[in-house]
Structure 1
Amino acid sequence: MTGDRSQACDLGDAPFTPGQAKACTVREVLDRVGGKWSIGILVAASQGPVRFTELERFVEGISRRMLTLTLRNLERDGLLRRTVYPTVPPKVEYTATPIALELYESLVALTSWAERHRIAIAEARAAYDRAHGPVDPGPASVAGRA
């Protein structure tokens, strides 16, 4: 997680009410599974064991470092299982855990929806930008426009 949201959730010395703690946990989970790279990785791993290099090819635009970090976080969250085989060179595979497999249909539905509506969304953005000027994608502009 990044930005102010993670700081609000990660303050160990701040007491949370049960509702605040629950909202924080849900937000953290949604941030992880809805992350830019996580969806593609989880979809690929839900099809069966997948190797690092296969994920590099499948997840378009991801750097090796970001793939490594995302895999580590998904494994930490219990969404991926990493298996190292004692071969030379070592063979490493990633598989989706049962909770990730439960999430799979939702991720496919979300990516299918995005594919179906990407042109309409691009057209809506262009029309908005013509009428109002482009929106700065930074966090300050989002907060300022709310």
Structure 2
Amino acid sequence: MSKIHVTTKINGDPTEFLCEPDETLLDVLRDRLGMTGSKEGCGTGDCGACSVTVNGRLVCSCLVLGAEAEGAEVATIEGMAEGDQLHPLQRHFIEHAALQCGICTPGILVAAKSLLEHNPDPTEEEARYWLAGNLCRCTGYDKIIRAVMAAGKEMREAS
């Protein structure tokens, strides 16, 4: 098979790469581009550890082909902080002890950011529903939801 040339933007930066036709976006991010924040938890789209956004849509990067990033805007956990300034979600995850082993955390943070971009003032029920595709075996979801709600409040008050 011949490799596919892909031109895209990842975290706002123009990016080009070559990938195999059957290579997932997750594999491209991790193995070709060295962006190891997104994790492979299941490889079947059931856990959310590999969550990224493509053109503003939350997706499991293990279910998207790298070639599908052609012309798209991809956002990963690596693009969440601005320089050395943590995103409010990242700060609140630390403050609320909403992370432990770190496997699920990047995907949950990306999903939570997507939630707050789509709905800046979610109810707790809406936040739980939005994050239902992200599985965590260490922390428990209450701390995660409290962190998301606190970050949402801070972001609304700042705007």
Query: What is the TM-score with the length of structure 2 in the denominator?
Result: 0.26
- Normalising by structure 1, we get a TM-score of 0.27
Whose strand proportion is higher, 1 or 2? 2
Which structure is larger by alpha-carbon Rg, 1 or 2? 1
Which structure has the higher relative contact order (CA within 8 Å, separation 6+)? 2
Q: Which has the higher helix share?
A: 1
